[in-house]
Every structure is written in structure tokens, then in C-alpha cells.
């Protein structure tokens, strides 16, 4: 189980290294005599590196419009400009685009021509962070693997906008204006392969409904969530990394075994209103509880297995796997209780 999780995360977070290897193969295969050809068809406002013929760099150029994109381009960099509209005309010949970075522009929903994105059939990565979007743009390319929409003004998610994105592995919606009403029971329907969902820094008061079952990483920091529903995580049995820092969780808002979930390896509950450590699972490896209202720690009470049984089985039994525990910013006074060390024998760091 753990091996599968880390394998999936490796695919998700090291994807850039895969692209790099592909790029290096292009470097080796490119004949220098064709460099002048690549340069001549390069838009005047942009830079086309001869050693990277599939890339077009138009970032930081003060552009207000997207130039005509050559047919050979796979990677398009348009970040840090003044672009307000996305029209079909610049992309007529760009049928091989895999990657578009449009971060830090001034794109609005009304400025996106209907259907322009969905016509980019081979697009895998779409970055539209830090623009002026008020809702998730639609329709989207069905082959997308990553969609980054952070730092916009999104308060609405159109019905069915994700229904055909079965290849999407990452959806980033952090730092927008989403309320609970924007996340309906079918909002994420169709995202059967989603691994990371980031809805941090919005205005949620409740845990979102119907998170895709294959989600590994769920980020909900900086909202106003007060309650974890009973058996909430049974619907997302693979969740491994859970971040709920900077919310309004109290002891009463967490079911008795709300976080006693075997799949969770990293649990972050910093900057909430907890007065005690909630029950955890023996598989948990990292626990962040700093800046709550915890006054004391009893290792015997929080130990996920019986200390007596643990002594019988030693390192060959089901001993707790906790390696990192953060408790600073509470009302706990050192030293660390001995029973904490007896229970969590694999602990490598305790911050108190």
C-alpha cells in the first residue's frame, strides 16, 4: 500500500524531470543546419531557443495579445504579461501543444473565446494562476493531466466542467473565493484519477462533498472548517497527505476516530482550536499539532496500540510508525513524557 502511494506521488511531483529527459533527447537529435529555420518562424516578440525547438518563450514581454504559435511548439510560456483574451486565431496551427503557462496575466472568463481550450486536443498541462477568472473555464481539453487555477477570483464551478477529465491528476484551486455552495455532490464527478486536490485559502466552512475516491493529497488549509463528518474519510480510502492547518477545528468537531485512518501518513492540524490530541492510527508518520490549545500530553492515552503489546512484539510487531511530532505553540511544558518515547519508538523529531 505505502509503496503504491509513494510511486504515485513520485509520478505526480517529478513530472518535470521526465519532461527534461525528453527535452535532452531533442537536443541530441537536432541538426544545427535547421536552426535558422526555427528562428525565422519564431514570433518577433518571443524567444525560440534553437536547442529546444518545441518551446516558445513569450514570458515577461508586456504582451497584451498572444502571437501566432508555430505548429512545432509543444511548450508555450506566456506568464507575466498583460494578456486579457484567449482567442482561437493564435492557436490555429498549434495542434501539438502539451503545455501552456498563462500565469500572472489579466485573463477573464469573458475574454476566453468559447471552445478555444477544448480544441487543444493534446494539451496536458494548463496553468492559469493569478488571473481574473471568476469561474472555472469551460469546456476544457479532455486529455488534461494538470489544471492550475490558483489565485483567481473563482466563486463558481460550472456543472459538469470536470465530467470528462478522467486523466486529470492535479487540480489546484487554492486562494480563490469558493464557498460551500460552490462544491456540490457532483462537482468533482468524472475525476477518476485525481491524486491531488488543493482547495486551500478559500471560504469553506464544511468539508467538501464527494472528493474523488483516488485522491492521495487533500489540502484544505486556511478555510473556516469547524467539523469533520463521521466516517468522512471512508469515501477517500487512499488519502495519504491531509492538510487542515489554519481552520476552526475544536475537539467537539472531530469524531472519536475521525483521524484514525490507516491510509493517512501525514496529518497537519496546526493553528486550530484543539485542546487534546485526537486518536491517530499506528500507520501515521508525521503529525503537526502546533499552535493549538493543548495543555498536556499523555503517551499512554494517545498511543494507537497497547504499550504492553508493543513490548511483547518489539520492532517486529505493529508498532506505531510516527517519526515526526510537532507540538510547539501550545501550553505544553517540557520535558517530553517518557511514555511518548516508549509508545513511539521510531520518533526522530519532537518539537515542543
pLDDT in tens, 118-177: 999 999 999 999 999 999 999 999 999 999 999 999 999 999 999 999 999 999 999 999
pLDDT category at 23 given cuts 50, 70, 90 is very low
Q: Which backbone phi and psi does 234 adopt, to 5 degrees?
A: -65, -25
- Determine the pLDDT at residue 14: 47
Cα distance between residue 190 and residue 169, in whole Å: 12
Best CA proximity match to 282, nearest among 306, 258, 308:
306
44 pLDDT above the threshold of 50: yes
Cα distance between residue 194 and residue 162, in whole Å: 11
pLDDT digits (tens, 9 = 90+) for 301-340: 899 987 665 555 454 457 999 999 999 999 998 888 899 9
Cβ atoms 163, 141 nearer than 8 A: no
Q: Which backbone phi and psi does 274 adopt, to 5 degrees?
A: -75, 140
The neighbouring-strand residues paired with 47 are: 57
Instruction: Over range 244-265, report the average pLDDT.
Output: 97
11 pLDDT above the threshold of 50: no
Residue that wins the pLDDT comparison between 21 and 162: 162
Cβ atoms 128, 103 nearer than 8 A: yes
CA dihedral 85, 89, 93, 98 (to 10 degrees): 20
- Determine the pLDDT at residue 318: 74
Residue tagged 514570458 (cell numbers): 59
Task: Give the CB-side neighbour count of residue 159, counting CA atoms within 13 A.
Answer: 1
- Determine the pLDDT at residue 6: 53
pLDDT category at 30 given cuts 50, 70, 90 is very low
Residue that wins the pLDDT comparison between 345 and 4: 345
Q: How far is CA 231 from the centre of its chain?
A: 23
Helix (H, G, I), strand (E, B) or coil at 197: strand
Residue tagged 496546526 (cell numbers): 270
Cα distance between residue 345 and residue 154, in whole Å: 46
- Determine the pLDDT at residue 39: 57
Best CA proximity match to 215, nearest among 1, 11, 5, 7:
5
pLDDT category at 22 given cuts 50, 70, 90 is very low
DSSP tag of 112 = B
Cα distance between residue 273 and residue 254, in whole Å: 11
Best CA proximity match to 150, nearest among 178, 112, 176, 182:
176
9 pLDDT above the threshold of 60: no
Best CA proximity match to 147, nearest among 272, 63, 157:
157
Instruction: Please name the residues in contact with 88: beta carbons below 8 A apart, sequence gap of 6 or more.
Output: 113, 115, 116, 119
115 pLDDT above the threshold of 80: yes
Cα distance between residue 270 and residue 326, in whole Å: 9
Cα distance between residue 122 and residue 206, in whole Å: 36
- Determine the pLDDT at residue 95: 94
Cβ atoms 265, 5 nearer than 8 A: yes
- Determine the pLDDT at residue 310: 52
When the pLDDT of each residue in the chain is averaged and rounded to a whole number, the result is 89
Regarding beta strands 286-288 and 324-326, do their DSSP bridges make them parallel or antiparallel, or are they unpaired? Answer: parallel
270 pLDDT above the threshold of 70: yes
**Which segment of 222-226, 333-337, 344-348 scores lowest on mean pLDDT?**
333-337
pLDDT category at 247 given cuts 50, 70, 90 is very high
- Determine the pLDDT at residue 29: 45
DSSP string, 228-270: --TTGGGGSTT--EEE--SS---GGGS-TTTT--TT--EEE--
3 pLDDT above the threshold of 70: no
- Determine the pLDDT at residue 19: 44
Helix (H, G, I), strand (E, B) or coil at 89: helix
**Which segment of 38-42, 126-130, 246-250 scores lowest on mean pLDDT?**
38-42
Amino acid at each position: 500500500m505505502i509503496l503504491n502511494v509513494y510511486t504515485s506521488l513520485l509520478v505526480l511531483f517529478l513530472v518535470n524531470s521526465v519532461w527534461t529527459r525528453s527535452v535532452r533527447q531533442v537536443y541530441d537529435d537536432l541538426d544545427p543546419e535547421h536552426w535558422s529555420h526555427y528562428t525565422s518562424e519564431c514570433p518577433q516578440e518571443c524567444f525560440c531557443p534553437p536547442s529546444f525547438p518545441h518551446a516558445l518563450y513569450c514570458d515577461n514581454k508586456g504582451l497584451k495579445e498572444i502571437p501566432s504559435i508555430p505548429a512545432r511548439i509543444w511548450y508555450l510560456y506566456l506568464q507575466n504579461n498583460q494578456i486579457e483574451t484567449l482567442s482561437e486565431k493564435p492557436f490555429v496551427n498549434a495542434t501539438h501543444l502539451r503545455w501552456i503557462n498563462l500565469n500572472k496575466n489579466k485573463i477573464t472568463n469573458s475574454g476566453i473565446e468559447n471552445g478555444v481550450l477544448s480544441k487543444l486536443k493534446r494539451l496536458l498541462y494548463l496553468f492559469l494562476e493569478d488571473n481574473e477568472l471568476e469561474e472555472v473555464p469551460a469546456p476544457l481539453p479532455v486529455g488534461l493531466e494538470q489544471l492550475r487555477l490558483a489565485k483567481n477570483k473563482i466563486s463558481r464551478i460550472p456543472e459538469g466542467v470536470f465530467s470528462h477529465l478522467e486523466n486529470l491528476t492535479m487540480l489546484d484551486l487554492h486562494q480563490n473565493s469558493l464557498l460551500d455552495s460552490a462544491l456540490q455532490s457532483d462537482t468533482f464527478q468524472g475525476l477518476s484519477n485525481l491524486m491531488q486536490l488543493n482547495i486551500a485559502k478559500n471560504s469553506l466552512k464544511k468539508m467538501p462533498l464527494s472528493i474523488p475516491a483516488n485522491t492521495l493529497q487533500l489540502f484544505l488549509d486556511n478555510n473556516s472548517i469547524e467539523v469533520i463528518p463521521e466516517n468522512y474519510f471512508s469515501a477517500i480510502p487512499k488519502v495519504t497527505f491531509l492538510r487542515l492547518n489554519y481552520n476552526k477545528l475544536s475537539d467537539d468537531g472531530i469524531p472519536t476516530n475521525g483521524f484514525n485512518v490507516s491510509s493517512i501518513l501525514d496529518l497537519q492540524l496546526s493553528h486550530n482550536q484543539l485542546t487534546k490530541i485526537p486518536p491517530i492510527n499506528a500507520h501515521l508518520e508525521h503529525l503537526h499539532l502546533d499552535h493549538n490549545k493543548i495543555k498536556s500530553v499523555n503517551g499512554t492515552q494517545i498511543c494507537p496500540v497497547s504499550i504492553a503489546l508493543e513490548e511483547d512484539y518489539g520492532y517486529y510487531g505493529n508498532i506505531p510508525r510516527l517519526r515526526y511530532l510537532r507540538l510547539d505553540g501550545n501550553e505544553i511544558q517540557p520535558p517530553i513524557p517518557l511514555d511518548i518515547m516508549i509508545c513511539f519508538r521510531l520518533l526522530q523529531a519532537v518539537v515542543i
